[in-house]
Amino acid sequence: MLKGLLDNKTCAECRICCGFDNTDLWEMPVMNEKTARKLKELRPDTRFTDCGGSYVTDAGELSDDELFYCPALDHEKGCILGEDKPFDCRIWPFRVMETGDKRFRMITVSPVCPEIFDRPLSQLSEFVKEKLENTVFEYAEKNPETVKKYIKGYPILAIRKQK
């Protein structure tokens, strides 16, 4: 979904978005049932937390400097989920977030992605407006469990008032 902004080679050499520490476990992708089932078949040891019909892999207790890699990551080949890669991962480093009162949803960009975060915000806003905005907000409408709470410091690239 980020064709034209990020190329596969750059992502394949980085994979920072597939590893999580204590502070960013909330970033772990929300998977639908089909994806979670596929992952369980491919990686039978995977444990999940049920988020009401959607699933997040259970990282267990992590120590301060411990890193948990998503079980779908093959360190040589990349993500093994293919076409079933979660929506969260398809749009990362963009995130859908909402205000505490849930009146507004926004598309933000994660400061963690070293490739994207140094780009001018005007370039990212333009890309979001042209290629992502409608798809992302529509997906969020149908899958509210994927929407994260807004975190200060995440630049807002698009905003939409909830009905």
Continuous H helices in the chain? 8-14, 33-42, 87-91, 121-127, 133-142
| DSSP conformation letters of 113-139 | -TTTTTS-HHHHHHHIIIIIHHHHHHH
Site for ligand SF4 contains 81 (CB under 6 A): yes
How many CA within 13 A on the CB side of residue 153?
5
Decide if 94 contacts 107 (C-beta within 8 A): yes
* CB of 59 vs ligand SF4, minimal distance in Å: 12
Note whether 85 binds ligand SF4 by CB under 6 A: yes
CB of 73 to ligand SF4, least distance (A): 4
Phi-psi region of 133 (alpha: psi -120 to 50; beta: other; left: phi over 0): alpha
Indicate the residue among 33 and 126 with the shorter CB distance to ligand SF4: 33
Q: Which is nearer to ligand SF4, 79 or 132 (CB)?
A: 79
Among 30, 56, 59, 72, binds ligand SF4 (CB under 6 A): 72
Q: Does 29 bind ligand SF4 (CB under 6 A)?
A: yes
Instruction: Tell me the window of 66-74, 95-103, 120-128, 152-160 that interacts with ligand SF4 (CB under 6 A).
Output: 66-74
Note whether 80 and 72 are within 8 A (CB).
yes
The window from 80-88, 97-105, 109-117, 120-128 that contacts ligand SF4 (CB under 6 A) reads 80-88
18 binds ligand SF4 (CB under 6 A): yes
Cα gap 146→96, rounded to integer Å: 8
Contacts to ligand SF4 by CB under 6 A: 18, 29, 70, 72-73, 79, 81, 85-86, 89
